[in-house]
Amino acid sequence: MADAIVIGAGLGGLSAAIHLAADGHRIEVLEAAPEAGGKAGTFEIDGVRLDTGPSVLTLPTVLDEVFARAGRRSGDLIDYVVFDPAFRYRFPDGAEVTLHHRVDDTIDAVRDTLGARAGDELASFLDYAAAIWEAAAPSFVYGDAPRWTTLLFGGLETLRAVSKIDPLTTMQRAIDARVHDEHLRAILLRYATYNGSDARRAPATPNCIAHVEIGLGGYGVRGGIHRLVDALVDTATGLGVRFAFDTPVERILTAQGAVRGVASARGEHRADLVVANADAAHVFTSLLPRPRRATEDRSMSGWTALLSTKKRERVAHTVFFPRDYVQEFADVFDAGRPPEEPTVYVCAPRLSAELDPWKDREALFVMVNAPTADHAFDEDEVRAKAMARLEAEGAIEGAEILWSRTPQGLADRFPGTLGALYGAASNGPSAAFSRPPNRDKTLRGLYYASGSAHPGGGMPLALLSGRAAARAAQEDLLCSASA
């Protein structure tokens, strides 16, 4: 019998397992897939593993702290990659904007391509975004899940912090008020997609993502993000964590208002603590003995693919914008259809992960935003539009699709998600308060550690979600021991 069972070996589950095991607990991780990583998955060709999920790591100190909890150094386990140039944004009118690893270089590049006013406005916007981050991070990222009562009765200091996070306007309105160049507006609006939200409706608070990526910098991992996953699994195993792959959990066992373990096809696994590193909607609707209602406001999904193409001069990440980027949000969230003229994102592992195993060809990861799987999706049409844009831009030649996944494929792989990449969308000022906290409110011994729980989606936030779930579990264990 384990002290705690973790459902899922995604980043949140691995983080929770490491923190709990470091506290001396016996941990068993049950994973439905044959490998760890969750949405940070892989596809193998010619003996080379290619990432099929995230490719940019922000806030690397969060990962460093997970390894440090186990007495290890991240530098001994993985190598960070600094890609510079970092991002290149290309527009149908021929404009091209390059972002660099250092923020000063980025501002200089914007001044050179879009003009002095645009460079000044970006610098000012990043100051605004940094102020949001500094005010929001303690409560909305690193702390416990925020509650309305905390804000209402937190005193003057709390009210000042709330005013700085700009929750009563939208991302789009805040950007439009501060930035006049349409190209720069599109670049900043795109950060809404980092948690799958609608820039027209999401509160301005997620504008802080611009500070996190542009101001603080993004990194790759040499060999691919899966090397990070492998290092986390190795760290957990070194602490005595046991893994059972190909073991989907069928239900959570409960008695007298508390968890008693889980049931899988292999039988019952008993424990008084269960950490769910699964989509909260899946837990609510399929794993609990008494189903609960899950949020209906899902984040966006996407069509993703791995291509093989002739090598080209390029940067680590390239984004090909449409003529009207705001229309993309209307297509996905209002019309429930793939964008009529989609933005196409391309990541080159040769540069982002220093993964260059072939002489004349290279792999590219491609993504197009899309609605969730409960809407119509014509993969042939989406693929044709994406490939046509890349060919017209000279980004690919003689390309072959190695692997692809639709919103329905994502939904099948991650039950309960409907293909949503980040759980609930942050489309409203109350979004941060409706995201599930890391400790279940009614069922003792149940905790949540995933991108669909507090503090949200993305690699560093999933790792923090695992840490928060482990802390909550440890607090409850200490209270039980002292009672």
Phi, psi of 263 (to 5 degrees): -120, 135
HSE-CB for 186 with a 13 A CA cutoff: 22
ω into 455 cis (within 30 of 0)? yes
Per-residue pLDDT of the chain (483 residues; tens, 9 = 90+): 789 999 999 999 999 999 999 999 999 999 999 999 999 999 999 999 999 999 999 999 999 999 999 999 999 999 999 999 999 999 999 999 999 999 999 999 999 999 999 999 999 999 999 999 998 898 888 888 766 555 555 544 555 666 677 788 999 999 999 999 999 999 999 999 999 999 999 999 999 999 999 999 999 999 999 999 999 999 999 999 999 999 999 999 999 999 999 999 899 999 999 999 999 999 999 999 999 987 778 999 999 999 999 999 999 999 999 999 999 999 999 999 999 999 999 999 999 999 999 999 999 999 999 999 999 999 999 999 999 999 999 999 999 999 999 999 999 999 999 999 998 888 877 766 778 999 999 999 999 999 999 999 899 999 999 999 999 999 988 776 665
The side-by-side arrangement of strands in the sheet containing 258-264 is 249-255, 258-264, 267-270
Q: Token match 């100190």: residue?
A: 61
Distance CA 338, CA 324 (A): 14
Rounded to whole angstroms, the Cα distance separating 83 from 461 reads 22
437: Cβ contacts below 8 Å, ≥ 6 apart: 144, 145, 448, 453, 454
Strands (E) in 233-374, as ranges, are 242-244, 249-255, 258-264, 267-270, 273-276, 301-310, 317-320, 344-347, 361-370
* Pair type for strands 48-51 and 96-99: unpaired
Predicted local confidence at residue 144, as pLDDT: 82
Residue 141 tokens, joined: 């990222």
Give me the pLDDT at residue 412, please: 97
Residue 98: name the closest of 218, 187, 175, 176 by CA.
Answer: 187
User: Which DSSP string corresponds to 335-385?
Assistant: S-S--SS--EEEE-HHHHS-----SSEEEEEEEEEE--TTS---HHHHHHH
How do strand 344-347 and strand 361-370 relate by DSSP bridges? antiparallel
What are φ and ψ of residue 83, in 5° steps? -100, 130
Domains in the chain, CATH or no CATH each: 4-40+60-78+225-295+426-482 (3.50.50.60), 103-215 (no CATH), 300-413 (no CATH)
Question: Phi and psi for 393 in degrees, rounded to 5?
Answer: -85, -5
- Please write the tens of the pLDDT for every residue from 428-444: 777 667 789 999 999 99
Residue 445, Cβ neighbours under 10 Å: how many?
23
Task: Report which of 17, 26, 28, 37 is spatially closest to residue 414, judged by C-alpha positions.
Answer: 37
Instruction: Give the integer Cα–Cα distance in Å for 101 and 478.
Output: 44
Is residue 401 within 8 A of residue 350, CB to CB? The reply is no
| Burial track 376-404 (b if 16+ CB lie within 10 A, e otherwise) | ebebeebbebbbebbeeeebbeebeeebb
The distance of Cα 266 from the centroid of its chain, to the nearest Å, equals 31
How confident is the model over 368-411, as pLDDT tens digits? 999 999 999 999 999 999 999 999 999 999 999 999 999 999 99
Any residues with CB less than 8 A from the CB of 261 and at least 6 apart, and which? 5, 252, 253, 268, 269, 270, 271, 272, 274
Q: Which residue's structure tokens are 């080209």?
A: 312
Pairing of strands 4-7, 27-30: parallel
Q: Are strands 80-81 and 27-30 parallel, antiparallel or unpaired?
A: unpaired
Residues 6+ apart with CB under 8 A from 422: 195, 196, 299, 451, 452, 456, 457, 458
